Amino acid sequence: MSRPAIPNDQRLIVALDLPSGNEARELVEALGDSVSFYKVGLELFTGADGFAVVDWLSTYGKQVFVDLKFFDVPATVARAVKQLHGRNITFATVHGNDAIMQAAAEVSGDVGILAVTVLTSLDSADMRDLGFDCDIPALVRSRARRALTLGCAGVVASGEEAAVLRTTLGDNGVIVTPGIRPGHHDDDQKRAVTPTQALRDGADYLVVGRPIRDADSPKAAAEQIQAEIRSALAV
């Protein structure tokens, strides 16, 4: 799948990592037209009104990325993906082997399937703790190549791997990069990069949560990142 042409103001995806639909709606309304794309993850989706928030975002004119990292037997994953059809969901994530990725891609319909490579909260030591003694960039490249071959729209990967991934994939597939941090950070994102670095290395979309959500002025923080995106992509 070739990379789509993406308007600069749609490259920022704000993570609605909040416990309730009311809090999510308040943040979206506060951000207004500064953000057009939102991620709904486990915390919000498993609340009382996960689908209600997704549908509200769509009617509010926003793009939606459902980040549930489906990981189950392939048939179950396929049935779960079908539940997302017809809701104007742009992307959804899977986190599994070839059979899981293929099952999701085969029934993706109007939803772009993104394969998670390696979580941005994990480093080499964490991978060894999990029993995987491997080179993270090599693992990311391998999973990305397989994901596109199996029909996925793209991958979720750390900005640290964006450059090598774009070289590996060429002009195929989208790269969605979480763990974006505009400046110094002290949290659980071990492989975070700045918006400028991620974009110049080949990322297509940037997922930003805490730097916007926890800012004194979330809208000002979002506008600052949007300005950095425009600057990074200026020819």
Q: Hey, which residues are catalytic here?
A: 69
Distance (Å, whole) CA 132 – CA 137: 13
Neighbours of 172 (CB within 10 A): 14
Pairing mode of beta strands 12-15, 205-208: parallel
Tell me the C-alpha to C-alpha distance, in Å, between residue 165 and each of 155, 192, 210. Answer: 10, 16, 26
Tell me the C-alpha to C-alpha distance, in Å, between residue 194 and each of 79, 161, 178, 204. Answer: 36, 13, 10, 13
Q: Are 52 and 21 in contact (CB under 8 A)?
A: yes
Instruction: Give the pair of three-digit tokens for residue 140.
Output: 């990311």
User: How many CA atoms lie less than 13 Å away from 144 in the CB half-sphere?
Assistant: 28
